[in-house]
Amino acid sequence: MASSSISRTDFLPLEGTDYIEYLVGNARQAAHFYQSVMGFQPLAYAGPETGQRDLACYVLRQQRITLVLTTPLRSSSSQADHIHRHGDGIRAIALRVTDAAAAWKETTQRGARSYLEPQTLEDADGSVVLSGIHAYGDTVHLFVERKDYHGVFMPGFRAWQRPNYQVPETGLLHVDHCVGNVGWGQMDTWVRFYEEVMGFRNILSFDDTDISTEYSALMSKVMSNGNGYVKFPINEPAEGKKKSQVEEYLDFYSGEGVQHVAMATRDIIHTVRALRSRGLEFLQVPDTYYENLRERVGAIEEDIEPLRELGIMVDRDDEGYLLQIFSKPVEDRPTLFYEIIQRKGARSFGKGNFKALFEALEREQDMRGNL
């Protein structure tokens, strides 16, 4: 009899994404972008004023999404090397666990390369245990155990407020998924890494027959942890007529890394309108996309007109439907971008939108001279 995955105990129980850490050239200005454009609220700070001599870190939060923006203050540092090589980008996807030492032990015993041995950080507000392993490229996964910590973010940080500059949130709620781009022929390596080292399952796969327009081919496999709180789709470029969008990323990021973070909202029309009015730019699908939308996806609760006006796409699966939209890259290198997603039952990733989306992406890629 085939072994049942139901009876298998989850050796790496995850409670969700704790935070996402970016390494950026100027964290103070990046923090302003995430506040003014994306609607994140200032939360915590660590830097020279708090005794951290070489790094400045700004922590922002919106509902259950926490971002840490870190900048090195000196040129000779691993963080400065990371920025030189990759530009601004995501260094760490930190996952919440109940036991960071066990998470480190379970994953390193299964073959993960250690990034950070378990260490306990303490201050007057309690303690946090951190550990970490290397993932694709220079990306790492941290394991965060918060015990009874009741400080503002983590030991070493102080509260950060901007009383003279306050802007409302934009309706972003939690991280839905984080997508990694890996190199040619590397898909299976990383699928195996998430299966064997982290106990994830491959819940969906797309190949180049699903995801190929005239040019921009890719393959994608969605990895999910046991309870589904953490989902990591992985993309690999595929051969097409011209350069794959994943290859463009790999060229400009100088290697593998996080391609996009999808953030969930309960009201995508409100969220996208707010983000647009504050200056975030989105990929625009052609008007023709909306002409037979109802025939393609059936009845939906939203009016088509605001979806068309904002460029929001819709897709349906067996369980319901979803609404989604993708930003343009948020830095000059064509690397990291965001997805805004509202799920109405659907647990898939918008396969029905791939063609329209990739054609929009290719127009942008062509304008950059990278197609």
**Which residues bind to Fe ion, rule: CB under 5 A?**
262, 339
Q: Distance between CA atoms of 163 and 212, rounded to whole angstroms? A: 49
SS3 for 50? helix
* CA angle (202 as vertex; 197, 204 as ends), nearest 5: 160
Which CB, 322 or 371, lies closer to Fe ion?
322
Element housing 28 (H / E): helix 27-36
Q: Pick left, alpha or beta for residue 254 (phi over 0 → left; psi -120 to 50 → alpha; otherwise beta).
A: left
Cα separations (Å) of 112 from 124, 185, 193, 235, 355?
A: 33, 20, 8, 20, 36
CB contact at 8 A, 146 and 136: no
Shortest distance in whole angstroms from residue 341 CB to Fe ion: 7
Minimum distance from residue 27 beta carbon to Fe ion (Å): 26
Q: Which of 232, 252 has the CB closer to Fe ion?
A: 232
CB of 318 to Fe ion, least distance (A): 19
Query: Least distance in Å: CB of 232 to Fe ion?
Result: 10
Minimum CB separation from Fe ion for residue 248, in Å?
17
Q: Which is nearer to Fe ion, 106 or 339 (CB)?
A: 339
Nearer to Fe ion, 18 or 339 (CB): 339
Please, which residue, 145 or 339, has the CB nearer to Fe ion? 339
Rounded to a whole number of angstroms, the minimum distance from the CB of residue 66 to Fe ion is 20
Q: Identify which of residues 236 and 339 has a Cβ nearer to Fe ion in the complex.
A: 339
- C-alpha to C-alpha distance for 272 and 280, rounded to whole angstroms: 9
Q: Give strand pairing partners of 314.
A: 323
Residue 127's Cβ-count burial label (10 Å; 0-12, 13-18, 19+) is middle
In the numeric block, the tokens 């904002």 are attached to 310
